[in-house]
Amino acid sequence: MISFPGCKINIGLHILQKRFDGYHNIETLFYPVGLVDGLEIIPSRGKTMFSLSGLELPGKGKPNLCIKAYELLKKEYDLPPVKIHLHKKIPPGSGLGGGSSNAANTLLLLNRIFNLELDSEQLAGYARYLGADCAFFIYNKPMIGLNKGDVFDDANVNLEGYYIAIIKPKINIDTSEAYKKAIPCERRRSIKELIRQPVDEWRSTIENDFEKTIFLKHPDIEKIKSVLYKKGAVYASMTGSGSAVYGIFDREPAIPDKLFGEDLILEEKI
């Protein structure tokens, strides 16, 4: 059985406070976009196996999130062995959530293959064990992410008819390191309130808090954001902790395949 795990952008990301468990409470808008990986899971007559094609993943020798998702359900439901193949197109270390999406879609596929009859809330509960934003990809629709990014509220936003372009620099950002340098701030207008404004007003009101420290260390990422505005974006931002930067356009943009030598990885109508 095959699925196509997608990715997301963060529209605004407020780091509110550090938690006692080492994580941070945040507020962000998760918005799914069209770049996808390919994921196939089939029963195996031998042992459980994982294979990879496409982009390489960091952390060789460490269990992949797809395997971790399988092992999580195997403990509860005594699943038989499977073969998992992942074709990777969503760049790791980009802030697009590709790894989290792979894990969530593994849960979804296993649920279907083995008729576990788990509903979305139950699957999201398992996904929360695998990563802070994994549960979002169980639902895969625009949602406000709260707490660690694993509790959700409805989002009143619709970008239908807009265009999006995503640039991925040849820089990978370690999310845990990015959080260590982040400066929490609680008192400000909520993203849920700010996204009700017209999109062309977001530029002056909606912020990604990671940009303050990431841009200091990696000024080329900030340059990409500036160029997207010069190309006509009505809103541009780094997504998550980076390093990918996206622009939202009210008309089809003319973005070269290479920008400062960096790759245009997605340009599509939303």
Q: Contact at 8 Å (CB) between 217 and 202?
A: no
- Helix spans in the chain (H): 65-77, 98-113, 120-127, 136-139, 175-180, 191-194, 211-217, 219-230
- Distance, in Å, from the CA atom of 166 to the CA atom of 54, rounded to the nearest integer, reads 19
**Buried residues in 150-183 as b, exposed as e (16+ CB within 10 A):** bebeebebebeebbbbbbbbebebebeebbeebe
Residue pointed to by tokens 């799914």: 32
82-88/49-54 β-pairing: parallel
223 as an active site residue: the answer is no
- What is the distance between the alpha carbons of residues 115 and 14, in angstroms, rounded to a whole number? 39
What residues pair up with 123 in beta bridges, in sequence order?
none
Q: Is 8 a catalytic residue?
A: yes
Cα 197 from Cα 212, distance rounded (Å):
23
Copy the structure tokens of residue 210: 């990671």
Q: One of 133, 168, 209, 225 is an active-site residue; which one? A: 133
Write out the catalytic residue numbers.
8, 133
